[in-house]
Copies of this chain bind each other. A is one copy, B any other.
Amino acid sequence: MTAPDAATENPRGEHDLPDVSSLTVGVLGGTGDLGSGLAYRLAKAGQRVVIGSRSAERAEAVAAELGLGIRGADNAAAAAAGDIVIIAVPWDGHRAVLESTRRDLAGKVVIDCVNPLGFDKQGAHALRPDEGSAAQQAAALLPDSHVTAGFHHVSAKLLLDREAERMDTDVMVLGDSRAATDIVQALACRIPGMRGIFAGRLRNAHQVESLTANLISVNRRYRAHAGLRVTDV
């Protein structure tokens, strides 16, 4: 065992996570709130980031606003540019964007952070994809990628709040490949205050995605930007 990297905040009892600081992160749906928030935080932590959108011009405009060297491109080019690629599109665009970028995502670590939710007068509720979850749909559509799930419960508002120095929240990371989940945990640990915690296989992704509906209820009741910490880790 080598000494833990002082720049990261590994969860207690975690083995050394890989160094991901030189990897480029692509963010599909990177002009949305969660996508641009993650792009901002990761770039601020020193990561090279390319945000993708259906429109390259729109992505370039948002990238310029975000600063920190973030680049903008269309989704296919962002997928091609990333060593790690975050999927942050709305649920109703999930299948289409993955089908259109499948070749660019081959061999890469993909992080699905899409929450399939419906909304009505009583608030948000969970939808149930045929594959079981958005992450499992991604795994079915991207057989040549290393699909993981994570970053579901992070408040986009807090990510984009330039006065917030730390993100006091954990990221539940799911996946069936240990090498891939290690990389995603390491990426989450790059953001000050945030920890990537391994939280199971993709077959248990549905409840993690759906729990976002509960956090929306919390936010309404307490006027908060709720996130989660895993205790005793």
| Contact, CB under 8 Å: B221 / A232 | no
Q: Are B218's CB and A226's CB within 8 A?
A: no
Is A136's beta carbon under 8 Å from chain B? no
| Complex interface: stretch among A60-68, A84-92, A106-114, A197-205 | A197-205
**Residue contact B200 to A213, C-beta cutoff 8 Å:** yes
Instruction: Compute how far the CA of A22 lies from the CA of B7 in the bound complex, rounded to whole angstroms.
Output: 50
Q: Tell me the A195-233 residues at the B interface (CB within 8 Å).
A: 197-201, 203-204, 206-208, 210-211, 213-218, 221-233
Tell me if A155 counts as interface (CB < 8 A to partner B). yes
**Which residues does chain B contribute within 8 Å of A199, judged by CB atoms?**
214-215, 217-218
User: Given A13-B222, A198-B217, A222-B12 in contact, is the A207-B206 Cβ separation under 8 Å?
Assistant: yes
Any B CB within 8 A of the CB of A122:
yes
Partner of A233, one of B172, B203, B226, B233: B226
CB of A177, distance to nearest CB on chain B (Å)? 14
- What B residues does A160 contact at CB under 8 A? none
Contacts of A230 in B (CB 8 A): 215, 218, 226-228
User: Does A83 touch B at the CB level, under 8 Å?
Assistant: no
Inside 8 A of A211's CB, which chain B residues have their CB?
207-208, 211
Min Cβ gap A226→B in Å is 5
Provide the residues of chain B in CB contact with A231, threshold 8 Å.
168-169, 226-229
Q: CB distance A232 to B158 under 8 Å? A: yes
Could you tell me if A11 and B222 are in contact, using CB atoms closer than 8 angstroms?
Answer: yes
Residues of A within 8 A of B (CB): 11-14, 122-126, 155, 158, 168-169, 172, 174, 197-201, 203-204, 206-208, 210-211, 213-218, 221-233
Query: Could you list 21 examples of A-B contacts with CB < 8 Å?
Result: A12-B224, A13-B222, A13-B224, A126-B207, A155-B232, A158-B232, A168-B231, A197-B218, A198-B222, A199-B217, A200-B214, A200-B218, A204-B210, A204-B214, A207-B210, A215-B230, A226-B231, A226-B233, A227-B231, A228-B230, A229-B229
Given contacts A126-B204, A199-B215, could you give 5 more A-B pairs where the C-beta distance is less than 8 Å?
A198-B222, A204-B210, A204-B213, A206-B210, A207-B208
